[in-house]
Copies of this chain bind each other. A is one copy, B any other.
């Protein structure tokens, strides 16, 4: 049995919903259908969730909401009409939208969540009605009924472990269940949305709960590519990778979806496949716990992310001082700054961290604190650093990946600000100047994929 999830662009228009129906019909194992709110139908379009945020803001500030309610309802109404559904479906939706305003209470921290979740919730109802109308034995199910119980953290909920047993009860259900993504309910029955990952995380939770054979994640791309199309023309599609490889690629800037959203499936060892609603015959990218074959590819992908900076601290005999680095990290912690890497030489360490954490004032405070409390011989900060990750479980079975990759970068005169390869040998991480990121990704891609 399969859990299948459709992203925002896959459920944005009647035309897309017809593809969704065809995909669900195509395989009787597709029994749990998780849906997003309607996304953009074209580049200038608005996502329904963004309209709902605007609606919430108008309600909060006591402005006229009629045009927005009409605009949102019309998004569902036009789809319903094109799909041949009864007009009454959408009248109910308008009533639900109005109820949000009627029940609004500035003091209630969960109120925003109810607005946000309405995009998914109405879409699931519409899609269930459409499936029924097309003769499928399907029904809408509310996450509360399904058993998605979350922590008491408005707009930032985490799934509670007890949910999985509750969801498991639905494993043998005869109907196709259409589930709105993105939210659950607290133990006190407050609707609460997840911090990120939208319907991806709901699909992932449901797949883990019902112990699905596979979690099919339908998006608007064919799968995961070995490099970003932003830098590489028609990059190779990755046919298979492991959770760990996925995680490492995501970390370094891959944005197909947020990898944390897949954690519930990863933990339950449910395979995940990324597929394209607009090209369902493409096999997509399969993500599993481990490779079936013995000799995985040396490198599955190259990812990059910009916006790092590097702080270098030189101090003679620093490694002789027990606690030296700990004291540096204490300063970071006091300033609530996290770091990504800490390459070290002899008498020198560098900290690579995300620049977005630093305001100019905070940067100055950080440097002052290090100077005063650590008394380095030398302290430097370098901005606009990019981090490139070369990822592949197969690395540990092949010597020479470091050599080949650093040679590729050297040929393009790319200077390494840092290179780090840890003991797990699943990735090599390079830090370079930001302006060389594109060149670096290209040269690594063409070294390992050609």
Contacts and interface: CB of A to CB of B under 8 A. Distances in A.
Contact of A322 (B332, B341, B411, B413): B332
Given A322-B336, A336-B322, A403-B410, A420 B419 contact: yes
Contacts of A67: none
Contact of A422 (B349, B409, B429): B349
Interface stretch (A213-221, A273-281, A312-320): A312-320
Contacts of A411: 400
A64 interface: no
A333 B344 contact: no
A407 interface: yes
A99 interface: no
Interface in A392-436: 396, 399-400, 402-404, 406-411, 413-429
Nearest to A330: B326
Contacts of A336: 322
Interface residues of A, number: 69
Contacts of A343: 343, 420-423
A450 interface: no
A337 interface: yes
Please give the count of copies of this chain that the complex contains. 2
A403 B314 CA distance: 25
A159 to B, nearest CB: 15
Nearest to A342: B342
A419 B425 CA distance: 10
A423 B346 contact: no
A323 B403 CA distance: 33
A402 B419 contact: yes
A295 to B, nearest CB: 16
A414 to B, nearest CB: 7
A427 B312 CA distance: 15
A135 interface: no
A329 B333 contact: no
28 contacts: A247-B347, A248-B347, A251-B347, A260-B317, A263-B316, A322-B336, A322-B338, A323-B329, A323-B333, A325-B329, A326-B330, A343-B343, A343-B422, A344-B422, A345-B426, A345-B429, A346-B389, A346-B427, A348-B422, A348-B424, A382-B423, A396-B415, A400-B406, A402-B402, A403-B407, A415-B425, A416-B421, A419-B428
Given A418-B421, A418-B423, 13 more contacts: A248-B347, A319-B340, A322-B332, A322-B336, A342-B342, A343-B423, A346-B427, A348-B424, A349-B422, A350-B422, A402-B416, A403-B406, A418-B422
Interface of A: 247-248, 251-252, 260, 263, 310, 312, 314, 316-317, 319-323, 325-326, 329-330, 332-333, 336-350, 380, 382, 389, 396, 399-400, 402-404, 406-411, 413-429
The list of the 3 closest CB pairs from A to B, nearest first, reads A400-B410, A403-B407, A345-B422
